[in-house]
Structure 1
């Protein structure tokens, strides 16, 4: 880590970016039953920046398979994100949740997963199905400017809508060539050779390593707005996270997210990334 990185880290730590999010991000889901997509996630733990696990009455988990590049879980064991049994562990695709019951959870939580879905609007629709009416979503997504995706173009809402309309599935490799060309491996911690790295992403149906889509703050919020989510809280934190608490609107209602989508919205002024800030 060079001196510029040290200085940048220090600047944003002094600005509070290393501290847990305010209670307003957690209070609405306190005592509720959660379903985590793609966990466990340290960010949601007691010492994390979005410590929501301790607030929930219980938390079930779902992974597309028990053993992944990130976790090695056991289908026969309970879901235990902080070591103690919290709920049931399901093996199902987090983008469709096939086989999971309707209206069974109060809140869906997910960290650094939404970018791995080829069809995130379809995923959000599936999450809505398993939630109670006006259920909550606790979402953490990587900000493109702080990750190895910083050279890639941000995904537009039109592109996401087209994927949804086309029924794009997880075997889609539309973004593979872009990833191979623009991914900044200097910011990637894996130890694979270039050939191994490219092969793993080309086999994405069996690895799920590919970031199909990349987001800045605005584009993530536009996607959530399109999915009929009322965005209650949002914060962008150094080094690379967008934190959102949102709630699905009633079936025939479109939420008013004007306040968070404005060019002078407070979250923009506090973002560490120039692409978010008012110009």
Structure 2
């Protein structure tokens, strides 16, 4: 039995749009053509995939499972196609590396320098992505590696730990803590903390909150509106604190970074698709550690 990637793409569109009409418009197909394609796919699979309702369509469990796996197949096929083109054209393979805002540019540079000592000709294309964008790009075959902190990999992606780094506290330059060289996390129970994701929806935010719980308090948190900016700069002009991996001392924009004592740590994770073939990804993963 074979599966047509085009029909799987049609199922993905219906799953994501929740409507034959919207999915057909997205795919530039007529509704009749899309409905026919889905019915043919259901016959090929041998079980119903969708339930048609008065307000649209709903994926049945089999349809949801197939759509989930279809996204992985689509990304793997795209990676295979791009790799074959590069090889056929004699082009250099480039490591496509994405990272969330929680991973700083300094950390990326340190990793690439380390890898470069072993693989001096490794070419890279680095860009920042928000967590959902990062996983979507990895599943779509548009990235080889996604660097992040404490993100749970979705179905189809694997995760490995590159190391653990000490967490510090960033404050504005005029904050009373700015003159301290270190501070105990347990002494910050009365402070407000800036975070980048909503508790319960962000693995990294949940990790930071768990460190506070271990220190004996339930932190007061608020999500920053400055998404995508360097973490240490989010506190400038406020009386808030932020967990950062930036080294203690002065940071960009005039923020101050204070060490935590005793230290607490945050992991640096790499997400990737194990189904795709990527020698540059493998070279990076076997060399990069922090």
Give the number of the structure whose residues are more often strand, by fraction: 2
Q: What TM-score results when the alignment is normalised by the length of structure 2?
A: 0.21
Q: What TM-score results when the alignment is normalised by the length of structure 1?
A: 0.21
Give the number of the structure whose residues are more often helix, by fraction: 2
Greater RCO structure (CA 8 Å; 6+ sep): 2
